[in-house]
Structure 1
Amino acid sequence: MNTFLTICLFLIPIFLLLAKRRSSKRLPPGSLGIPIIGQSFDLLQAFQANTAEKWLEERIRKYGPISKLSLFGKPTVFIHGPAANKFVFTSDISTIADQQMKSVQMILGDRNLLELSGKDHKRVRGALLSFLKLESLKQYVGKIDEEMRKHLEMHWQGKEKVVVLPLMKTLTFDIICTLLFGLERGTRRDKFVDCFQEMLQGMLTVPVNLPFTRYNRGLRASAKAQNMVKDLIYEKRVELEQKGGSPHQDLITYLLSIRGQDNEVITEKEIVHNILFVMVAGYDTTSVLITFIVRLLANDPAVYAAVLQEQEEIAKNKNSGEFLTWEDLAKMKYTWRVAMETLRMFPPVFGGFRRVLKDIEYGGYLIPKGWQILWVASMTHMENSIFPEPSKFDPTRFENQASVPPHCYIPFGGGPHMCPGNEFARIETLVAIHYLVTRFTWKLCYTDNFFSRDPMPKPTQGLPVYIVPKKPL
């Protein structure tokens, strides 16, 4: 008996060691690198140099479509391909959940839609979708049209040269403030702009909270922005309760008034954090899309001519001063295909993270609980087997959208986590392009096609162009 016990005590550590080795062998290939930092700086440098895709392609050549690394303080598994996209976007919420970098979570707040899961995600997403549903958005076309005209009058008319990207950010921010938050032009809106620029600068950084870091400045800007949103909430609540304001007049008022099936409400903290989420998402992504369309139209005369013809046909059928309508947008089929192809080649959102809620297997490897998964949109967008000649700009790819294989084109994400504001972005983009091509011609000041990411793609110098006004039709 003593001999048996001795043998068992001797073998147990060996069995544990072998089990540990077996477990470690099941982890994807790759290195976690230096603790906390990992490969974060390498990826950030690749963003700045416009080589992020090449950096990931090198990993794929070295390790295959699944590999481990460490990004922004967390062990990470990078997965690639249509099957990977399907896995990310269709997995059960009990298995993986949205997970942003710590810097994004801390700046936007832990109750924003990107951080919620399960019933909370469904409840808050349902509230946002209810406000941004197609039937509601149709009534906003005229208001977006009005904002676009004001924008051109203030920032384009009488100018010989403009810088497109910052102006498009101004446009999308003004639209969001007016339509979604009922915040009129003035000092408070200007302070919001400053805060959001600082927030965006701090979101794609290593979360080291030291006074001289962009992360620290982003946190401080977020605190200021949250206090401003709380002031807005107080004003909207008073207006709603005491003055009989319409629940549908803006997003904040709507979120204050909504009640779920079990009389559930959206808490003030959730309103604040999701207002920041919507403003950051809408401020940058659509402005980037419009900017890259402007650059493309300057570089491709054939595409420009087709867009112009479509938009002039619509303009000719409008009376002087008449706003665009939902029916007009429905006629802009080619223009939207141009936008979709632009999103394929230059997706504003590079990718995202998911949090692993329990040990899972993918591709024959173990992804441990607590790790994060990195997915990247542009990798399948630029794969020759999916989109032939992927470097060629070809809007005809989307004449029959059913021909695009599932889980391969993902500029807005997919499944239950698809961007709730994609239709809103479509309206903004089509209205903006309509007025730009029918009222101006332009020529690029820089003819290179370089762009960097910080974290959104940014063309050289923000895309300065020489502009010439057109005579009215």
Structure 2
Amino acid sequence: EAPELSAPLSRTITISNFLIAMNWSALVHHIFILFPLLPPPPPPLFLKQITIISDIISHSTIILNGFFGNGLVTARDHEQWYKQRRIMDPAFSSLYLRGLMGTFNERAEKLMDKLAELADNKTEANMLHLLNCVTLDVISKVAFGVDLDLLKNSSPFPKAIETCLKGMVTYVRDVFFEFNPKNRRNVNEVREACRLLRTTGAKWISERKTTMQNGDEVPKDILTQIIKTTRLEQYFILFVTRQSQETTANQLGFCIMALGRHPEILEKAKKEVDDVIGMKRDISYDDLGELVYLSQVLKETLRIYPPAPGTSRDVAEDMVIDDIHIPGGFSVVFNSYVSGRLERFFKDPLRFDPERFHPDAPKPYYCYYPFALGPRSCLGQNFAQMEAKVVMAKLLQRFDFTLVPGQTFDILDAGTLRPKSGCNKLQKI
């Protein structure tokens, strides 16, 4: 018999709720919970069937539409989503991604310069903050042609993005939040942050449209693709905050923390980088394919510390999958944080072991899904992992890093999962 879930679970999703879900799922194998409760993971067969069906859509609410618009993540109409996905596909093609290596290298080099300065002064580095700066620099440059240079210049963007995401999470978890007079200040801060992102996005879009109307040549980047859609400014928030910025920074932060705890894995990754990259300043697209062990390290990081800890699907009509009856009109939620930590799917699951993702190892089908699964999987996942590889390879090439004494390994749930404490000590090689 399954234990009763704690009452706050339906209103507030926290790390403690993840642990409750893990304990519950250990007792009940075939299970799903209807939104807004946090679920234990379903069996892989169940997840496979429900994610590959094209007319089952990602979960959406009025609140999410308000933050992200009626776009790739939130569009409920399949035809509308399909049209938008086809428009955006060219901006993430392998040919286009190859052309981004120059930007990845350039922005990563600026991070290395900043870290070298900190290392020379024997200053502890808040890596998560710096990683957020460089990933936002990258997506702003390649998606919108804008050079923010956040490692040198102050900007309201990082704070606005953080405020917007926190507000989204708060609104989702407590639909009455904005109606409580005590929360008026927070509500106004969130509205101002979202307004800043929307107006700035609209400005950049307007400038690009003017360039296109004048017949001038423009890059075939994300911004050009966005202009082919409607409600343009709403996509700006989606791509800057979710697709390839904050989640990538969080993944890199967790990866650095994990390597700091496992010096033998750190040394193996450094040796591979030395063998493949050597003393080269710029990393090529072909080099990325040879960094096999580093890929394993990044994948293992996503297994234990998935920045996006779950996904969901709306079910339009009654259906039965693996003897489970799902009523139409409900949502099914899948929790990648929980499934990645279950003995049922991964032996000794709390041990950080990149060998799980060795090319010859059994593939963890439908129990490992950091970028979701099926037709609605994350469009920017290859972009994000290329960027993460370039940054990590350069870090391993240039620096030894250790964790600050007393460093905690707590996880902060702020809509995405991130290291609660992001400080590391750096020393140049």
**TM-score normalised by L of structure 2:** 0.87
* CA gap 1:285/1:149 in 2 versus in 1, 3 angstroms: same
- Of the three residues 338, 341, 345, the one matched with 2:304 is 345
Other-structure match for 1:284: 246
Other-structure match for 1:274: 235
Other-structure match for 1:23: none
Given residue 290 of structure 2, which amino acid in structure 1 is its aligned partner? K
Cα displacement (A) at 1:67: 4.7
SS at match of 1:39: helix
Q: Which moved more, 1:209-218 or 1:450-459?
A: 209-218
Given residue 172 of structure 1, which amino acid in structure 2 is its aligned partner? T
Cα displacement (A) at 1:348: 0.9
Q: How many angstroms apart in 1 are the aligned matches of 2:319 and 2:192?
A: 37
- Of the three residues 133, 141, 145, the one matched with 1:178 is 141
* CA gap 1:207/1:183 in 2 versus in 1, 3 angstroms: farther
2:9 is equivalent to residue 39 of structure 1: yes
Q: Which moved more, 1:286-295 or 1:395-404?
A: 395-404
* CA gap 1:369/1:79 in 2 versus in 1, 3 angstroms: farther
Cα displacement (A) at 1:118: 1.8
- Of the three residues 157, 165, 171, the one matched with 2:117 is 157
Other-structure match for 1:310: 272
SS at match of 2:217: coil
Cα displacement (A) at 1:353: 2.2
Q: Which moved more, 1:344-353 or 1:237-246?
A: 237-246
Q: How many angstroms apart in 1 are the aligned matches of 2:136 and 2:387?
A: 11
- Of the three residues 53, 59, 75, the one matched with 1:99 is 59
Q: How many angstroms apart in 2 are the aligned matches of 1:226 and 1:195?
A: 11
Cα displacement (A) at 1:51: 2.5
Which residues of structure 1 form unaligned runs of 5+? 1-28, 257-264
The correspondence of residues 72-87 of structure 1 with structure 2, limited to 5 A, is: 80-87=42-49
Other-structure match for 2:223: 252
Indicate the structure whose relative CO is greater, using CA pairs within 8 Å and at least 6 residues apart.
2
Residue-by-residue CA offset, 1:44-77 (whole Å, 9 max, x unaligned): 2xx2xx3333211344357653254552xxx887
Cα displacement (A) at 1:165: 1.0
2:293 is equivalent to residue 293 of structure 1: no
* CA gap 1:70/1:430 in 2 versus in 1, 3 angstroms: closer
- Contact 1:53 1:379 (C-alpha < 8 Å) held by counterparts: yes
Q: How many angstroms apart in 2 are the aligned matches of 1:356 and 1:215?
A: 32
- Contact 2:309 2:416 (C-alpha < 8 Å) held by counterparts: yes
Given residue 213 of structure 2, which amino acid in structure 1 is its aligned partner? E
Q: How many angstroms apart in 2 are the aligned matches of 1:307 and 1:63?
A: 38
Cα displacement (A) at 1:221: 2.2
The correspondence of residues 61-460 of structure 1 with structure 2, limited to 5 A, is: 65-68=30-33, 71=36, 80-93=42-55, 96-154=56-114, 156-159=116-119, 160-185=123-148, 190-205=155-170, 206-208=174-176, 209-210=178-179, 212=183, 217-242=189-214, 244-248=216-220, 250-256=221-227, 265-267=228-230, 269=231, 271-281=232-242, 282-316=244-278, 318=280, 322-362=281-321, 364=323, 366-400=325-359, 403-445=362-404, 446-460=406-420
- Contact 1:329 1:430 (C-alpha < 8 Å) held by counterparts: yes
SS at match of 1:443: strand
Given residue 55 of structure 1, which amino acid in structure 2 is its aligned partner? I
SS at match of 1:66: coil
Given residue 39 of structure 1, which amino acid in structure 2 is its aligned partner? L
* CA gap 1:279/1:116 in 2 versus in 1, 3 angstroms: farther
Cα displacement (A) at 1:199: 0.9
Q: Which moved more, 1:359-368 or 1:83-92?
A: 359-368
Q: What CA RMSD, in Å, does the superposition of the two structures yield over aligned residues?
A: 2.8
How many residues end up aligned between the 2 structures?
A: 414
Percent same amino acid at aligned positions?
20
Q: How many angstroms apart in 1 are the aligned matches of 2:418 and 2:5?
A: 30
SS at match of 1:51: helix
* CA gap 1:215/1:31 in 2 versus in 1, 3 angstroms: farther
Q: Which moved more, 1:184-193 or 1:446-455?
A: 184-193
* CA gap 1:76/1:89 in 2 versus in 1, 3 angstroms: same
* CA gap 1:63/1:216 in 2 versus in 1, 3 angstroms: farther
**TM-score normalised by L of structure 1:** 0.80
Other-structure match for 1:261: none
Given residue 414 of structure 1, which amino acid in structure 2 is its aligned partner? L
- Of the three residues 9, 13, 18, the one matched with 1:53 is 18
Which residues of structure 2 form unaligned runs of 5+? none
